[in-house]
Amino acid sequence: MQGLIDYLSRRYRRVVEVGIGTYSRVACALQDRGLIVTATDINPRTEGVPVVRDNLWEPRLEIYRDAQAIYAIRPPPELLPPLKKLARRLAVDLIVKPLAGEPCDGRVVSGDGTFFYVYGFGWKARASETGVSQ
């Protein structure tokens, strides 16, 4: 997961992990690097990072308003459409680390032995594609 941690910490200051479950290692590592991390789950049950109860099928948008990106680690395939819909609606980047072998249609990024998919719905991604910065 080191490649994912490096990628997120180099690009964003405020992120939301969707569906954190009980695996908080990435969120805690990002906090240690100075990022502001909020996590969501339909059934919060982890420690070490603030977790807010939320249902991805009916997300409470105020939880995500200040985020620069949202990310999910090993989400079930049926959650990919609502994750993409949420990221598009908020105009933020979406980063997905699937289980090995699960296909996604985002841009593949790999680093330090970790691969994940990036969906560039946020202004940073569009700026880097067009050469425009804000």
Pairing of β 93-97 and β 36-41: unpaired
Split into its structural domains, the chain has a count of 1
Count of beta carbons in the 10 Å neighbourhood of residue 134: 6
CA angle 91, 67, 19 (to 5 degrees): 100
Return the pLDDT at 133.
38
Q: Give φ, ψ of 16 to 5 degrees.
A: -125, 125
pLDDT in tens, 22-34: 889 999 999 999 9
CATH number at residue 83: 3.40.50.150
Strand partners, 38: 16
For the chain, where are the alpha helices, taking DSSP H only? 2-11, 25-32, 80-90, 123-130
Nearest by Cα to 17 from 57, 75, 62: 75
Question: Residue 55: what pLDDT?
Answer: 94
CA dist 28 and 5 (Å) reads 10
Residue 74 and residue 22 in contact, taking contact as beta carbons nearer than 8 Å? no
91 is in which domain, residue-wise? Answer: 2-130
> How many angstroms separate the CA atoms of 128 and 16, rounded?
22
Stretch among 3-17, 61-75, 89-103 having the lowest mean pLDDT: 89-103
The string of pLDDT tens digits covering residues 47-95 is 888 899 999 999 999 999 899 999 999 999 899 999 999 999 999 999 9
Find the mean pLDDT for residues 118-128.
68
